[in-house]
Every structure is written in C-alpha cells, then in structure tokens.
Amino acid sequence: MTVSHILGYPRIGAQRELKKVTEAYWKGDVSREVLEAEGQALRCANWQTQQDAGLDFVSVGDFAFYDQVLNVSVMLGAVPARFNAQQEVSKGNVDLDTAFRMARGRAPSGTPVAACEMTKYFDTNYHYLVPELHKGQVFTLASDRLFHEVDEALQAGFTPKVTLIGPLTWLWLGKAKGSEFDRLSLLDSVLDVYSEILSRLATQGIEWVQLDEPALVQDLPLAWQQAFERAYHRLQSAPLKLLVATYFGALGDNLSLATRLPVAGLHIDAVRAPAQVESVIDRLSPHQVLSVGLVDGRNIWRADLAALRERLLPVKVRLGQRLWLAPSCSLLHVPVDLAQETELDSELAGWLAFARQKLDEVVTLAKLIDNRATPIDELRVSEATRALDARRASARIHQPAVSRRLAAITAKDSQRQSSYAHRSVAQRRALALPLFPTTTIGSFPQTSDIRAARRAFKAGELSQADYETRMREEIAYVVERQEVLGLDVPVHGEAERNDMVEYFGEQLAGFAFTRFGWVQSYGSRCVKPPIIFGDVTRPVPMTVRWSEYAQSLTDKPMKGMLTGPVTILQWSFVRDDQPRATTCRQIALALRDEVVDLEKAGIQVIQIDEPALREGLPLRQHEWQAYLDWAVESFQLSAAGVADSTQIHTHMCYSEFNDIIGAIAALDADVITIETSRSNMELLDAFQDFAYPNEIGPGVYDIHTPNIPDVAWMVALMEKGLEKIPAERLWVNPDCGLKTRGWAEVEPALANMVEAAKQLRQRYA
C-alpha cells in the first residue's frame, strides 16, 4: 500500500486559538497550565484530524508555541548567554518563558533582554528565529518537550512520525556571532545531540523520523555538501528510520548527494520541481522510500486528482511499496480549513483546498493508485475534475482585454520618456524643492481611533459617507501637522489602509478575500493573504480621491502612495495557471492606470513601494536574473506612463542591496528611500560602488524603536551619506512608514529631522 503522510500541519488552530491563548499568557491573563493545556488540545485535535483523514502517520514535532526552528535551538541548548539560562540548559530543561524571551525579548517571567533576530524561512513568509552560533559552542540536549509530545500521541493511540529540522539546515539557518568562524566546525557537537534525540525517540517506539533539509534545494558550498554526507553517515546508526525531507525546489546539483545519503527515505517537492521525480528514482537505492510531494503545500488551489493519478501511475510501477505520498512541504504555509469560508461564493470555493482539504487529497490519491478507491474517493476525483474544468473555462478568470493589453506591451512602455538626467531638470523646475528635501515613507500613526472607525464601517455600524468623512478628517490633520513641521513633500498618511496589499487587492478585479484564511507569519502573528484567482484589472481609481483631497489642502507637492506590483504579488496566493510574471505584469498595468490618473489629478510625486522585491528572489542564484528581469519590468510598467516632470519614488525596507543593486538601478525610480539608520549608512556603499545615478533618501530615523533621534545624530548620519552621494541627490526621511508609532514620538522626531535638513542646507548649500 502507498503510504500517505504530511510534513507538518498548521498549529494555529482553525480559529487562531494558539494566537489567542499565547497572547493571553503573555499578558498575564491566563496561567501556564491553561497555555499548556490549550497547546495539548490543539495537538490532539490536529492528530485526530490527520488520523480521521486516513493518513498513515500523524505528525509530531510540528507544534510550537512560537517557532519550530526555535524549538530545535532550545532542544540543542543553543540559548545565548544573555538569557541567563545556563542552569536550565545544564539541567536539560529550558523553560518555556526562556524560549519566549528568545523570541520576543520578554516573557511573564525573567528579565527583558534583546530578542534573537528573526528572518524569513527560505522563500516563504514564515519567519523563524535565527540560531545564534559561537565559535567552539557545545550543544547538549536541553529540552524534553518533544519526547512528551511523542508520549502524548502514543498514549492517545496515534501512530506518530516525528518531524524535526535537520542538523545541517539548522546550522545553515544559523548565524555566526562574535568572531567569524566556520559554522560547520560545530557540526559534530550538534550531531551528538541529534544522535541522543534519535535514540530516545527509538526507545519511545518511534519508527520514522523526518529530518527537514530544505537547504538541499539551495546552492551549497562544497564543504556543506560534504558535511551532509558526513552527518548522515553518522546518524545512520540511529535505531530508527530517517526520512530526509527536501522542499521548495529542485535538488539540482545536490540530487546525487541527496540520493546517496544513507537514510531510509527521501521526500522531494514534485510541485515546484516536477521534472526531478524520474531522475531521483533512477538514483535511489533499491530499499529506499521516496515520498513524492505533489499536492501543493504553498498554495491554496484544489489538486487535479485525475491528472495527478495519471502522473503517478508510472511512478507507482517503478517504486511499488516504496512510494509515499505527501503535500510538497509542511501545510504550515496554507490556511487551516476551507469549510469555514461560508461567505466565499461556492464557485470560487470549489477551486480551493486548504490544509484540511489537502489531507483528503493525499489520502485519495494514495488509494487511487493502489486501486482501493472507495466511492467517496471516486466522488472526490469527479468533483475536483468538474470544479477545475469549470475554473479553466470560467468567465471570471480570463478577460480578453487583459491578454490583449499584455500582448501589446512594447519595450517603450517600460521606459520613461527621458533619462533621469533630463527628468531631474524638469522635476526641479516643477517641484522647486530645496536641497536635502524632507519627506516621509507614507503612513502616519494608525491610531486606535482610526482602527475603530474601520471596524465600525466593516461591521456596517458606520455608513460609507461617515467613514469617508472620518478619513478626510484624519487626512486633514496629517497634512496640517506636516505643514507645521515644515516637511517639503507631504503625504496623506494612509489612514484609509488596513494593510498595504489588502487595500489594493480589495479594489482590483481578480482578487478574493477569505474570512479565516490565516497563515502564521511569526509567533502569534498571522496574515490573511489575498487570493489572486483571475486576470487583474482596475475597475475604478483606488487612491486618487484621497490624494486629490490631500493636495487640495496644501501648496506643497503631495506625494501619492501605491504598493508596487511585485509586493502585491509576493504577499498574495497567486494563481497557478499562468506564470507569476504574467500575473505581475497584469497588476503592473492596473497600477499604471492609477499612476496616470494620479498625475492627471495634479499629483506630481508618486511613490510605488516595493518592500518585497528582494524576498521574491529565487532560492537558486542562477534563477535570479530571470526573476529580476520581469520584476523590474513590472515596476517600470507601473511607473513609466507619466511625464518627465512627474517624480516617481520607490521605497524598500530591507538591508541587503549589494547583490541586486543593478536591478535597483534598473527600476529607474527618480528617488529611492531605504532603511539605513541602523547600519550607520553602510548600506550606501552599494550605491556608491555602483555609481547609482538617481536620488536616494537614506533613512535617518529608525522607526522600529520608540526612541526620538536627535538633530546632531541625524546630521552626522547624513554627513556620512554625503561622503558617498552628492548633496543634490540626497533626501532626508525616516527609514519606513510611521503607522506603528504614536504621535507623541512622531512629532518631535520629525521636527528634529526637519531641523537636521535645515542645518545641512546651511552647511552644504
């Protein structure tokens, strides 16, 4: 029989129960016992769901109160010294509050201290806590949580397969702290603990342990490839079976390495990398299991079961009993249960599958290829076929006008009329800005008042007209404050936006929104990505009336504010029936119309935010250029419809520009504002080395802290900037939007920023 399993299940709960209870615990509203009991209840419910669906194993080890990478760090005793947990580590029992302090800097017990860094897990929107590694670090088994969870599952009568981040991927995700050193020098000690973990699991009666090694789909240095071999040769003595799980892409040049590892099974991603199935089977040794992941764990589309059966039959012939089936990766990255979406129209709902539904898909597929399908399985197949045929033919998906417009794009459409050198002359004349112009990144404090008004509006308690009035009042206030502060290029403040992607998605055709489609982003934070299901168009202008109103209140050039095509794409569930590039160009054209309409309405400065440009980079470097080509083209398409005198800004808030500076320059935005304050302007080196030709606003005010930067500090930062970029091309601005800050911090900070600009003008005019 074909084994069906999953690599992991969402732990947040269908109603975000985990979020609610952990936040209540952090606030002190519920006790540790209540927290632990709710965690246990969620685990048990998830196992029950998996068993009921007919999976051969339930997944243990995918639960975490905060993050599964942090769980492994804690289990290895990799708790940085500042958390003062040496005793807990040596007793083999790191406290949950210590883990929370690593994650958030604080917990109900213990002294607040700087949290560990957080970053995105491969190319997902899930953030993990970066393991901190030190030269000569020694690891010890420092938590027995996992073993308790295994006992829990066993006692409840489930058949668990344990899942853990693998030793190499854990090290790969870690960061060397203190002096530079080779992380691989720590491998032996890490393996000591993994061996101990595996022996204990074996004693508990565990047969299979899944070790996640997605690092194998990235470009690995030779030393790391060799380390994989060494590590798994060592772990093979463990008295149980190991399944090495790879996902998010093709094994590529690591393919023969992965198939050579002395383990009982390998999982591969057959959604992102369908072509590798055959070549992996060719190289697999005759006793090894191959888990084929071909139900999409990264997206929400219903699987075409009939088509997958056809694809699988020859695989089954080759592998027989050695074939396992699974989603492509952990279901952590999709929402929990479609059955809750009672407000989605049934046509659209019929095209989707969330985590709960994907379990059924895997189980049914396994039965289909084993010829043991029940009438229910047959029904699932025919329903899927019917729904997907309907999807392909649906008038809601294909708008002929959109494909015609896309086909008619020429190279000219993505180029401004003149070069930056010419444009800057026209813009200087039109805008008459001083040297070192001041501006902000767009949002002003989203006060509880604003959020309450939006909630009331959405609940139908506030009329459309009253809501608009409320937002206009807010805009008027924000504009007036900026007048008083003396900002040269004011903004309207983005009060009307809940979220920078959702706001646009709600107004564009081709987007849908769920009510409960939450996906964990980090810790207790969940996001509800829009679903792009059809061709994208802009039925009516989205921001023009707000910007127009804001402009009417001031003589200064009001900056219009849009989210860029790549960021909208990146933070949504994207259709799987056309290339991402095509969807991105469609969004770009819709935004282009908005940009042109803003210009017509008298807006002379327009910012198109692209904070997600960099995170869209493929996991393999050789694929970067192709991505950057269409990403850059999409941005340009959205921006290039305006006259030379209209100034296009963009904003990015991440801290690595070196390797994509060519693409950043190719965007050809007149002004780019970036996050630099924490790096002491070092990020400008990339711009200097590249001889970046356009204007730059290196953020001088770190909006991520409540601290108010003083004038001298900001002047000094700008003077550092002046060593690298000439004064005529420098702007003065914060390093990101102000929506998470309060007015009490924002006003004095911006006042200081404006004063800093004045002093700079005096010195350098």
Selected from 49, 50, 443, 514, the binder of ligand GLN by CB under 6 A is 443
Tell me which residues in 471-530 interact with ligand GLN (CB under 6 A). 494, 500
Binding mask 632-661 for ligand GLN (x = CB under 6 A): -------------------x-x--------
CA distance linking residue 213 with residue 224, whole number of Å: 12
Residue 355 touching Zn ion (CB under 5 A): no
Residue 609 touching ligand GLN (CB under 6 A): yes
Residue 501 touching Zn ion (CB under 5 A): no
CA distance linking residue 307 with residue 498, whole number of Å: 40
Confirm if 212 and 169 have CB atoms less than 8 A apart.
Answer: yes
Question: Measured from the CB atom, is 553 or 561 closer to Zn ion?
Answer: 561
Selected from 160, 523, 560, 737, the binder of ligand GLN by CB under 6 A is 737
Confirm if 338 and 353 have CB atoms less than 8 A apart.
Answer: yes
Please report how close the Cβ of residue 441 comes to ligand GLN at its closest, in angstroms. 4
Known binding residue 624? Answer is no
Please report how close the Cβ of residue 743 comes to Zn ion at its closest, in angstroms. 19
Binding mask 646-665 for Zn ion (x = CB under 5 A): -------x------------
Q: What count of Cα atoms within 13 Å lies in the side-chain half-sphere of residue 350?
A: 17
Residue 736 touching Zn ion (CB under 5 A): yes
Residue 750 touching ligand GLN (CB under 6 A): no
Binding mask 235-274 for Zn ion (x = CB under 5 A): ----------------------------------------
Tell me which residues in 26-65 interact with ligand GLN (CB under 6 A). none
CA distance linking residue 56 with residue 41, whole number of Å: 21
CA distance linking residue 448 with residue 743, whole number of Å: 12
Residue 445 touching ligand GLN (CB under 6 A): no
Please report how close the Cβ of residue 499 comes to ligand GLN at its closest, in angstroms. 10
Nearest C-alpha neighbor of 85 from the set 134, 136, 140: 140
Alpha carbon distances (Å) from 757 to 441, 543, 744: 16, 30, 21
CA distance linking residue 758 with residue 749, whole number of Å: 14
Residue 272 touching ligand GLN (CB under 6 A): no
Selected from 315, 739, 754, 760, the binder of ligand GLN by CB under 6 A is 739
Please report how close the Cβ of residue 494 comes to Zn ion at its closest, in angstroms. 12
DSSP 709-751: --HHHHHHHHHHHHTTS-GGGB-B-BSS--TTS-HHHHHHHHH
Total residues contacting ligand GLN (rule CB under 6 A)? Answer: 13
Burial of residue 557 (number of CB atoms within 10 Å: 0-12, 13-18, 19+): buried
Confirm if 233 and 200 have CB atoms less than 8 A apart.
Answer: no
Vertex 403: Cα angle to 401 and 409 (nearest 5): 105
Nearest C-alpha neighbor of 50 from the set 359, 340, 335: 359
Question: Measured from the CB atom, is 107 or 561 closer to ligand GLN?
Answer: 561
Q: Which does 39 bind (CB under 5 to 8 A by kind): ligand GLN, Zn ion, none?
A: none
Q: What count of Cα atoms within 13 Å lies in the side-chain half-sphere of residue 19?
A: 16
Sign of CA dihedral 456, 462, 468, 470: negative
Assess whether 704 carries a catalytic annotation.
Answer: yes
Residue 560 touching ligand GLN (CB under 6 A): no
Confirm if 284 and 255 have CB atoms less than 8 A apart.
Answer: no
Residue 616 touching ligand GLN (CB under 6 A): no
Selected from 217, 366, 736, 753, the binder of ligand GLN by CB under 6 A is 736
DSSP for residue 658: G
Residue 550 touching ligand GLN (CB under 6 A): no
Please report how close the Cβ of residue 562 comes to ligand GLN at its closest, in angstroms. 9
DSSP-based helix, strand, coil % in the chain, nearest 5: 50, 15, 40
**Annotated binding residues for 5-methyltetrahydropteroyltri-L-glutamate:** 16-19, 120, 525-526, 571, 615
Residues that bind Zn ion in the complex, under the rule CB under 5 A? 653, 736
**Annotated binding residues:** 16-19, 120, 441-443, 494, 525-526, 571, 609, 615, 651, 653, 675, 736
Residues that bind ligand GLN in the complex, under the rule CB under 6 A? 441-443, 494, 500, 561, 609, 611, 651, 653, 736-737, 739
**Annotated binding residues for Zn(2+):** 651, 653, 675, 736
Catalytic residues: 704
